[in-house]
Amino acid sequence: MLEALIFGASGGFASRVQQMCSELRDICIYRGLDRYPQAHEAVRLLNGYAPQLVFVDFDDIDVGLSLEGVIRSSHPSTAVLAVSSRPRPAIQTAWQTLMPVVIPCPIDEFRQAVQQAVGARGEEKSAPVFTFLPAKAGSGATTTALFVATILSKLAGKKVLVLECDLHAGPISMLFNVQPAHSIVDALEESDRLTDGYWKQLVTNVGGIDVLSSLGPRGVRTVSPWAYQRLLTFVRSRYDLVIGDLPEVVNDATEVVVRSAKAVFVVTSPSTPSLYLAARRRHDLETRGVGTGKIKMVLNRKSRGERIEPPGVYFRKADQVAAIPVDESLVDASEFKLDGVKPETMVECAKIAEFCSGSALLRKPTGFKSAVSSWLHGSERSPELVSQAALR
């Protein structure tokens, strides 16, 4: 549950906000004031309840700005959502630009405003998030995500976290041959009480990357979008990059992850059914508010010399970040291993890693394939991908 307070000018305002929050069902209102609090009273309430979000009545802009300043100064981690009963332009404050949401409004618009307000607090000191989404099950998105995460850790020297967001069928524990005591479900259910000490118990370090897999003793639970929001806020201040491994269908909870992502890589094979499903995934992502420019394609299991010219309804050529070849060592692989992997596979995964890092990867003595090291200093690097990533 997302914990919140309401600072309003009237009982009617507090009642309207509470009604909309009750429709969302994932917001717990600790206290709703029917008047504007004085600064000392606002601080006392913030200290006592430690809310994650405060709804502030901006019908009186001067008072609303004053309260926003009190909240930012005393509790900088608390999100502020400006609410008004009449349309207002964006309001520039010393901390951020506030876009008041006008109530009453459609519930989806209200939910989006809440998510943006909470997400903005997590972006002030935050690692970029990159997600991998299969066009269909078995497209190789998980394996690709693990290769990219490993390259980012070994070659780019990044502190990387892999979040397995497929709560029903995530294979990461099997691929790494580990049986973690905790899972991402534990982290989501305890997202409002995460500490650095507890976090060390939750994650499993495998080969230099931290992994939060979906396999755990608690099994599958229903999680809320706010749980993912709180988890992302926590981890983005502690890692250089966050990699999300998603199921093929994005739901209301994982929507938070894709909307927070700097790029969403749709992983697809060259087959016509997979390409059609990739187009559907793209449409679904756009429907959920993911910008078109953030949606990229990774072609997997491409045969040498194979020509693929899908209609424009699929993906533009510029959206393709990498074309991973058919690699017999990865067919029906039950364990994640670098040994035996084709050099061409590593080269293509390194292109994705360079896109994510936003800069050329540094050469380090890591024992990786020699092809990757030579690629890092050769003509096959894609500087246009680096420049694209740096601009986002």
pLDDT at position 285: 93
- Is pLDDT larger for residue 119 or for residue 24? 24
In the predicted structure, residue 52 carries a pLDDT above the cut 60 = yes
Q: How much is the pLDDT for 154?
A: 86
Q: So what's the pLDDT on residue 294?
A: 92
Q: What is the per-residue pLDDT for 144?
A: 92
| 368-372: average pLDDT | 51
Count of positions (residues) in the chain: 392
Q: Is the pLDDT score of 348 beyond 60?
A: yes
Q: How confident is the model over 52-56, as a mean pLDDT?
A: 93
Separation of alpha carbons 159 and 239, rounded Å: 5
Whole-Å CA distances, 327 to 147, 214, 301, 302, 307: 13, 26, 7, 9, 18
| In a shared domain, residues 49 and 87 | yes
Residues 228 and 315 in one domain: yes
Residue 384: Cβ within 10 Å count: 10
Last residue of a domain, one of 122, 156, 185: 122
**Predicted pLDDT at 130:** 97
Same domain, 144 and 94: no
Look at 17-21, 266-270, 279-283, 363-367 and tell me which has the smallest mean pLDDT. 363-367
How many angstroms separate the Cα of 55 from the Cα of each of 69, 95, 202, 281, 344?
13, 16, 32, 34, 52
* Together in a domain, 157 and 117: no
Shared domain check, 169 and 100: no
Check whether residue 186 and residue 240 sit in a common domain.
Answer: yes
CATH number of the domain enclosing 360: 3.40.50.300
Residue reference for tokens 């509790």: 75
**Domain end: 91, 122, 153, which one?**
122
Asked whether residue 157 falls in the same domain as residue 54, the answer is no
3-class SS at 15? helix
Q: Residue 298 pLDDT > 70, yes or no?
A: yes
Rounded mean pLDDT of the chain? Answer: 81
Position 96 scores a pLDDT of 64
Same domain, 270 and 348: yes
Once rounded to an integer, what is the mean pLDDT over residues 188-210? Answer: 87
Residues 143, 284: Cα–Cα separation, whole Å: 23
Q: In what order do the strands lie in the sheet with 263-268?
A: 204-206, 209-212, 160-164, 241-245, 129-134, 263-268, 295-302, 320-325
Q: Does residue 365 surpass a pLDDT of 50?
A: no
For residues 136 and 112, state if they share a domain.
no
Say whether pLDDT at 390 is over 90: no
| DSSP assignment string, 218-263 | T------HHHHHHHHHHHHTT-SEEEEE--SS--TTTHHHHHH-SE
Amino acid letter, residue 87: P
Section 234-240 average pLDDT:
87
Q: Is 49 exposed, middle or buried (0-12, 13-18, 19+ CB in 10 A)?
A: middle
Number of domains in the chain: 2
Q: How far apart are the first and last CA of the chain?
A: 31
Q: How far apart are CA 238 and CA 105, in angstroms?
A: 36
Lowest mean pLDDT, pick from 197-211, 346-360, 367-381: 367-381
341 and 362 within one domain? yes
Q: Where are the alpha helices (DSSP H) in the chain?
A: 11-24, 39-49, 61-74, 107-122, 141-154, 172-176, 184-189, 196-202, 225-236, 255-260, 272-287, 343-357, 370-376, 383-391
191 close to 227: Cβ distance less than 8 angstroms: yes
- Percent of the chain at pLDDT > 70 equals 80
Sheet (strand 79-84) strand order: 27-33, 2-7, 53-57, 79-84, 101-102
Lookup: tokens for 256: 């938070």
Do 284 and 374 belong to one domain?
yes
The residue among 54, 87, 122 that closes a domain is 122
Looking at per-residue confidence, does 377 or 110 come out higher? Answer: 110
Residue 382 has pLDDT above 70, yes or no: no
**Same structural domain, 111 and 232:** no
Range of the domain at 297: 129-391
Mean pLDDT, residues 88-104: 73
Which has the higher per-residue pLDDT, 310 or 35? 35
Which residue is associated with the tokens 């207002």? 88
pLDDT score at 295: 93
Instruction: Please give the single-letter amino acid code of residue 213.
Output: S
| pLDDT number for residue 219 | 57
Contact 28, 3 (CB under 8 A): yes
pTM tops 0.75, yes or no: no
pLDDT for 381: 45
Q: What is the identity of the amino acid at 321?
A: V
Q: What is the pLDDT of residue 387?
A: 38
Look up the CATH number of the domain holding residue 36: 3.40.50.2300
